[in-house]
Amino acid sequence: MEHNPTLNVALLERTLAFLEANPHRWDQSRFATVDGRACFGGWAVVLHESVPLRALFTVPGFIVAWRAQRALGLNEGQALAIFGYVCTREHCTSAEPCVQPTFQQLCDRISEETGFCYDPRGNPPVVDALPVRELVAA
């Protein structure tokens, strides 16, 4: 694990608190979906920039990933390891569906890559004053 002094701990906490409180809004395989779900990186962008999720629909995935990487203060290796954590199986084929990581597995991956350990006791389920319905409004 490479130490990263620019890590945005506040945004990591906000994004993980949001996903923990709204697991039905998390789909690690998509940056943003029309049904109001997004991956960890997608939600980090939405929460950091206070933009609605629909603002990401037409943005190429690599741009969303770059925006999330910069907002979170991740280096390239950390971003690839975290954003690319789509499947808990080591080798997925198109014949077998990938299994999305659990919330705990995502937290563990983030910890492995950054050294940041999420503590849900220190984070209220309400992420901030911006209502979730405004973030996901289509």
Q: Decide: 118 and 13 in contact? Cβ < 8 Å.
A: yes
pLDDT band at 64; cut points 50, 70, 90 = very high
For helices 76-83 and 61-72, angle between their N-to-C axes, nearest 10 degrees = 120
Each domain of the chain, given as residue ranges in start order, spans 9-128
Distance, CA of 26 to CA of 36 (rounded, Å):
9
pLDDT band at 65; cut points 50, 70, 90 = very high
pLDDT tens column, 67-120: 999 999 999 999 999 988 876 555 556 666 677 889 999 999 999 999 999 987
pLDDT of residue 29: 86
Cα–chain-centroid distance for residue 111? 13
Q: What's the whole-number average pLDDT of the chain?
A: 82
